[in-house]
Structure 1
């Protein structure tokens, strides 16, 4: 019996009972890499199963060994070891040219999921120091870097305590995600707890260190949102940090930027706020016009008004 196998973006090929995906693709003229000759001794023929994973034969013993060593996710199969049992299977070759071969064969990733990419629902967290430039302008370079190291250590301690992952830094700000190892409700609660801890620790830092030694205090703005994003590693070798992309990331960043406009240090989307089992008291609710969002976006204010006259502005309510 013959089944149709869809090589996404290439062609639909026939595959007979007892024939492997690799044999079918080669018979159809697809230049499918298979360095070991299709013996299950390498990974160059691997495919990503997009549809019909249940219509493939179970992993063979050689494939199980390779999957365990390379930490392949379940939807990555060796074409030379996999047979098709029915119609409706769609796959994508992961190695299609020399560049792909370098990425997928010579990679040092411990987890292939980060190389392939996956869709995840995460809590997205942005933090930035308010009005940092005046401190930079009046301070020695050593003092600026030293203080930044102290503040970032404060950030990292809170983020690590609640199992967050720092994705990127930009000047005096951080982009963090929560939920890589937990469900979205727990992730959202962790993001909020980390943010509240940072605000508390920063208050102590200001009183015990910044005010006595520098006659200066810092305030921050935090934005939190949740949403489905793409998680992966683009492979540029920067600390092996994951890349997390998607429209929800943009919203979280804009919520952080809106903290000054709303005169509140911690702004969380109403969508995220509703996931909290024991939500902190919200001092207010507002609606923001965000780029790319057709209707005003509801947010909750769970921080405090800024003390600095320069940072504090009148919050406006679009609802009015």
Structure 2
């Protein structure tokens, strides 16, 4: 009996009974990597099953072992260990050239294959920016600037870590984190809000006990939180944790943080995110924001406080 398998973007090929997917692809002229010679030991013949995984043979003992060690997702199979048992199977080769081989074999050692392949899921997106930092930079020694930045970022990181978030990137005097990599979106949103509230309180304490006594200066922050379906994965370029998160909701969250100046409120959350909270903080004020690149006005809640030193947040040193 002969079935057919669709290699996405390449060709549809026949697969005979008793013939592995790897053997069939090689016979059809597809340059399928198989460094170990098809013995289930190198994983270079791995394929992503797009459709019809129920029409493939059960996992072999080699695949079960590799799945445990490498944390392969359920829709990744070794072509040398897989047999087709019905029609409607579509796969995609994950390693097509030497560059792919380096990314998937070398890079996957440092992160899960799931992250290397990319995942789409709902996350809570958290942007924070430190206000009043430019005047501090202009009037203090480089050592003081870097030291205080480290103090503030440690404070922020501790709050984010405490509530299960993960910092994705830093830029100047701001950073970007996500919540929900290991939790449902409702819990992730609540964690993001709790982390933001903790940061606001910790910054206030830091100002009163350290910045004002020793530097005659105070900092404020602007926080924006939104939720949405994004793509995250490990880009493997050796920077930070290599994890990146992309998508339209990310841009919205960043613009909410920027709008804290316009609305003169330290913490802005989208109505979509606010609606997920089981015990939402008191938010007497709401607003409609026309964000750059967003066609419809976005409803938001103001759950922070007005800036003590004005919208621009300029505090004399």
Give the TM-score range, shorter chain. over 0.9
Matched residue SS, 2:168: strand
2:161 corresponds in structure 1 to 160
1:281 and 1:52 mapped to 2: Cα distance?
Answer: 49
Residues 71, 110 of structure 1: 8 Å contact kept: no
- Between the aligned partners of 2:171 and 2:102, the Cα distance in structure 1 is 30
TM-score (norm: length of structure 2):
0.96
- Whole-Å separation in 1 of the counterparts to 2:9 and 2:265: 49
Q: Secondary structure at the match of 1:260?
A: helix
SS of 2:239 mapped into structure 1: coil
Partner of 2:185: 184
1:104 aligns with 2:104: yes
Shift, 1:145, TM fit: 0.7
Matched residue, 1:37: 37
Give the corresponding residue for 1:136: 137
Q: Normalized against structure 1, the TM-score is what?
A: 0.95
What is the Cα deviation at residue 10 of structure 1?
1.0
* Deviation for aligned residue 1:288: 1.0
Residue deviations 1:275-311 (CA, integer Å, cap 9, x gap): 0000001131111112332210111110000111352
Contact 2:264–2:310 (Cα < 8 Å) also in 1: no
Contact 2:261 2:311 in 1 (8 A): no
The reply to whether residue 299 of structure 1 matches residue 284 of structure 2 is no
Q: What is the DSSP-based 3-state SS (H/G/I as helix, E as strand, rest coil) of the residue aligned with 2:166?
A: strand
What 5-or-longer segments of structure 1 have no aligned partner? 313-320
Partner of 2:239: 238
The 3-state SS of whatever aligns with 1:181 is coil
> Where does residue 220 of structure 2 map in the other structure?
219
CA deviations 1:45-74 (Å, max 9, x no partner) are 001111222221111001111221111111
Q: Distance in 1 between matches of 2:163 and 2:268?
A: 19
User: Could you tell me which residue of structure 2 aligns to residue 147 of structure 1?
Assistant: 148
In structure 2, C-alpha distance between the alignment counterparts of 1:194 and 1:241, rounded to whole Å: 23
Distance 2:310 2:290 in 1: 25
- Greater shift, 240-249 or 213-222, is seen at 240-249
Distance 2:203 2:21 in 1: 57
Q: Deviations over 1:145-184 (max 9, x none)?
A: 1111110110011011101000000011110000011000
Give me the whole-angstrom Cα distance separating, in 2, the residues matched to 1:125 and 1:309. 23
Aligned to 1:74: 74
Q: Structure 2 CA distance, aligned partners of 1:310 and 1:78?
A: 57
2-side partners of 1:53 and 1:81: how far apart? 14
CA contact (8 A) 1:70 1:110 kept: no
Residue of structure 2 in register with 1:86 after alignment? 86
Residues 190-229 of structure 1, C-alpha deviations (whole Å, 9 max, x = no match): 0000000000010111111111111111010000001111
Count of aligned pairs: 313
Give the distance between the partners of 1:121 and 1:310, measured in 2 at CA. Answer: 32
**Root-mean-square deviation (Å):** 1.4
Q: Distance in 2 between matches of 1:262 and 1:136?
A: 25
The answer for unaligned runs of 5 or more in structure 2 is none
Q: Distance in 1 between matches of 2:198 and 2:23?
A: 57
Residue equivalent to 2:176 = 175
